[in-house]
Amino acid sequence: MKRIYLDNAATTPMLPEVVECMAESMLQNFGNPSSTHQFGRTAKSAVETTRKQIAKYFNVHSSEIVFTSGGTEGDNIVLQNAVINLGVTRIVTTKLEHHAVLHTVDFLEEKYGVEVVYLEVDQKGCYQIEALEEVLNASDKKTLVTLMWVNNELGNIAPVKEIAEVCQRHAALFHSDSVQAIGHVPIDLQEVKVDFMVASAHKFHGPKGVGFLYVRKGHVVKPMLHGGDQERGVRSSTENVHGIIGMGRALEVSLNVLNEEMARLNELKSYFISSLKTKVPGVLFNGESENLRNSSPTIVSVRFPLENPMMLFNLDIKGIAVSGGSACQSGSSKGSHVLQACLPDVEAAKTSIRFSFSKLTTKDDVETALEAVVG
């Protein structure tokens, strides 16, 4: 049985060239980057070369890039620092965010009494710029706005440039969890003035356990972990040299063909959507999944007309790896917090499946998945 992997929003397979460069690094760059001898300097040079490379991709300075263990750590560093060190007393977000953000916000509200404002979203899960403007107008409190660049369940691409402009007008900080955006949509941080952005390598064919945090120059970020002075004192811990190098290579491969891949995946996505409409009467698409201009080319969130608690299990039995979007598929008693936040209860309770593509996904993979869904 051919196994088809369509759960790339959860994690992507590492590319052979990424594995190769990491294996080479493990043999050659085994020194501690904090050591002053030649072995340490060689490892340090490899880390700094990758830092400069990543900074160049996003049109920022290398001093604004901090290496982390991934998106969750990056989100925690930003949110906790904003409250503890930057004087933030109010956080504006939505119920659609990743739990790395939502759970941290809950913690900050409980421990420090931070005011939390949840913006309303429409039934497609779209942020409303007017609502954000209204909330920021309503208070003079030092505010951090935290909104995802690309939603991990719906695939919606947020109007981040407009959000950043609104935040600037009101002197609010803007943090964007960009884990699902990096490597999949164009990002220029001189054009989009976010203050903080986080990334995780395993979402763009790199290794797990490594990512980076962008901190716009001028913001002071202090370490959550105390120990060494690595990463300019922002993130204590010996750098994950091989992971960082693998992440740099994965990002290079992804961004070198970004436009071509976006076009190819959008074509594949369009075919998948139109085929589902033909083969499954009454099928619907969550969020902006159906809108190629407003959603990531990698994510399609499908809501089926009839409840089918065994659908995710049956697809797995047929060799199709995907993710569920409601309680009956995910095994969670709470279901998808994203779908519950933007859909009426009767719709949120229906069977939803997230299909997510990558540069390794082929049309044959999509055909096989379609047969499994319909069969």
How confident is the model at residue 129, as a pLDDT? 95
Could you tell me the sign of the dihedral formed by the alpha carbons of 322, 325, 326, 330, in that order? positive
Tell me the per-residue pLDDT of 104-115, one tens digit each, with 9 for 90 and over. 999 999 999 999
Least confident of 44-58, 300-314, 330-344: 330-344
pLDDT at 17 exceeding the cut of 60: yes
Of the pLDDT bands very low, low, confident and very high (cuts 50, 70, 90), residue 333 is: low
User: What is each CA distance from 85 to 42, 142, 246, 315, 364, in whole angstroms?
Assistant: 34, 12, 32, 48, 52
Question: Pick from 254, 255, 247: which is nearest to 206 by CA?
Answer: 247
Whole-angstrom CA distances from 153 to 111, 122, 234, 239, 352 are 29, 15, 31, 31, 10
Position 230 pLDDT exceeds 60:
yes
Nearest CA to 102 out of 303, 341, 354 is that of 341
- Please give the pLDDT value at position 70: 96
Buried b (16+ CB within 10 A) or exposed e, 89-120: ebbbbbebbbebbbebbeebeeeeebeebbbe
- Identify the band that residue 335 occupies on the pLDDT scale cut at 50, 70 and 90: confident
Statement: residue 327 has pLDDT above 80: no
Closest Cα partner for 211 from 243, 166, 167?
243
For residues 282-296, average pLDDT? 96
Of 183, 124, 43, residue with least CA distance to 303: 124
Contacts with 94 (C-beta within 8 Å, 6 or more apart), sequence order: 118, 119, 121, 127, 147, 341
- 150-167 average pLDDT score: 97
DSSP secondary structure letter of residue 157? B
Whether residue 354 contacts residue 300, with contact meaning beta carbons closer than 8 Å, is answered with yes
Residue type, 57: Y
Query: What gap in Å lies between CA 344 and CA 321, rounded to an integer?
Result: 27
**Domains along the chain?**
4-12+257-374 (3.90.1150.10), 16-256 (3.40.640.10)
Residues linked to residue 144 through DSSP beta bridges, in sequence order: 91, 173
Among 147-161, 319-333, 342-356, which is the least confidently predicted range? 319-333
Contact criterion met (CB below 8 Å) for 309 and 351: yes
What is the DSSP pairing of strand 65-68 with strand 173-177? unpaired
Per-residue pLDDT band for 307 (boundaries 50, 70, 90) equals confident
- pLDDT tens for each residue of 135-158: 999 999 999 999 999 999 999 999
The pLDDT value given to residue 332: 52
Res 194: pLDDT: 98
User: What sign has the CA pseudo-torsion 132, 135, 138, 140?
Assistant: negative
* Ordered DSSP codes for 106-154: HHHHHHH--EEEEPPB-TT--B-HHHHHHHHHT--S-EEEE--SB-TTT
Residue owning tokens 């913690």: 107
- In contact, 264 and 186? CB cutoff 8 Å: no
Residue 117 bridge partners (DSSP): 92
Residue 330 has pLDDT above 60, yes or no: no
Q: Which runs of consecutive H residues, i.e. helices, occur in the chain?
A: 16-28, 38-57, 71-84, 99-112, 129-137, 160-169, 241-256, 258-279, 311-317, 327-330, 337-342, 345-348, 363-374
- In this predicted structure, the answer to whether residue 278 has a pLDDT above a threshold of 50 is yes
Q: Show which residues are catalytic.
A: 328
| pLDDT exceeds 70 at position 329 | no
pTM: 0.94
The answer to whether residues 201 and 243 touch, using CB atoms and an 8 Å cutoff, is yes
